[in-house]
Amino acid sequence: MLYINCPHCGMRSQNEFSYGGDASVKRPSLNKEVSDQEWDNFVYNRKSLRGKHLELWQHISGCRQWIKVERDTSTHEIFRTFKADEEVAK
């Protein structure tokens, strides 16, 4: 079982969280011409990375906030967690 350090509540079990997908996907900016390929990339196409990955999780049975989690997809090691509106320095 994973333990995730919620930036709001502290260390909690993965059972309290819900996975929300890739946190590095950026929505195409508003009022900009968007090609079908760009829109497909935003909505559907995802990389299946092995290694460090920035993910969205929601603390659904806790504070109900969305957070960002930096996790290794092969070892499941969690390096850092951030509030959803925090910018992540690489």
Q: Footprint of other proteins on this chain (CB under 8 A)?
A: 1, 8-13, 15-16, 61-65
Q: How far is the CB of 19 from other proteins (least distance, A)?
A: 16
Residue closer to other proteins (CB basis): 20 or 62: 62
83: CB partners within 8 A, 6+ apart: 7, 8, 65, 67, 68
- CA 28 to CA 12: how far, in whole Å? 34
Do residues 6 and 67 make contact, with C-beta atoms less than 8 angstroms apart?
Answer: yes
In the complex with other proteins, the residue whose CB is nearer, 52 or 66, is: 66
For 31, residues 6+ apart whose C-beta sits below 8 A from its C-beta are none
Measured from the CB of residue 57, what is the shortest distance to other proteins in angstroms? Answer: 15
Smaller CB separation from other proteins, 50 or 76: 76
* Shortest Cβ 52–other proteins spacing (Å): 26
